[in-house]
Amino acid sequence: MRLRNIKNKEEIIKNSEYIVEDASRYQASWHQLFNNNNPIYVEIGMGMGKFIRQHAEKFPNINFIGIEKQDNVLARSLPMLPKGLKNLKVLRLNALEIDQVFTKEISKIFLNFSDPWPKLRHNNRRLTSKIFLDKYDKIFKDKHTIELRTDNEALFIYSLETLSQEQYSLSEITFDLNQKEPDRITTEYEDKFISRGNKIYYLKASK
């Protein structure tokens, strides 16, 4: 996602009630920060935040953590979050560092419209490559659950293969989520793709 540079982005990020700075200090103790023992769901690459915000509003008994590495995206998305959501936190974090801030405490990971990295030499950068799946193994609490949405068929097929190789059971697979679940909570990217008539691919994998 490319956005114009926001001059006061650091101030916006620093002053947000949702940003957790120095997230590694909460490793293995996120429940203390949320002050409850509810399940924790993570969205890697939260973008403008619509998906995770609406989930936090709809499911108050689940804790949600959005991860985004781009400062300009955060500076645009954070002011759009409503005040006072106690079950939502946001991390400014590169996904490669995810196992440095969580340990055996995550119940679900959402991967929504991740960069498909189409060139073969970039396979390992995909969020469903073995490199990332190994990191997820370290942060899941018990049962591993990953939900993926994409408009990129190649990334979808690749993810089906890598997840199967890592012993995930693919309980839900659809090549047209619009027909199966038209009233779902969507992302901003998803809304754009739907308006163009693009198919949305979806899978749910567990182990």
pLDDT value of position 1: 44
Cα dihedral sign, 129-177-115-30: negative
CATH number at residue 153: 3.40.50.150
pLDDT value of position 3: 59
For residue 94, give its domain range: 9-206
What would the pLDDT profile of 13-46 be if each residue is shown by its tens digit?
Answer: 999 999 999 999 999 999 999 999 999 999 999 9
Q: State how far the Cα of 93 lies from the Cα of 151, in Å rounded to an integer.
A: 24
pLDDT value of position 180: 86
Domain annotation covers residue 3 = no
Domain annotation covers residue 19 = yes
Confirm whether pTM is higher than 0.85.
yes
Total count of domains within the chain = 1
Q: Give helix 153-165 / helix 130-139 axis angle, nearest 10°.
A: 60
Return the active site residues. Answer: 115
What would the pLDDT profile of 107-147 be if each residue is shown by its tens digit?
Answer: 999 999 999 998 888 889 999 999 999 999 999 999 999 99
pLDDT value of position 71: 93
Domain annotation covers residue 73 = yes
Domain annotation covers residue 23 = yes
pLDDT value of position 2: 52
Domain annotation covers residue 76 = yes
What would the pLDDT profile of 42-79 be if each residue is shown by its tens digit?
Answer: 999 999 999 999 999 999 999 999 999 999 999 999 99
Domain annotation covers residue 1 = no
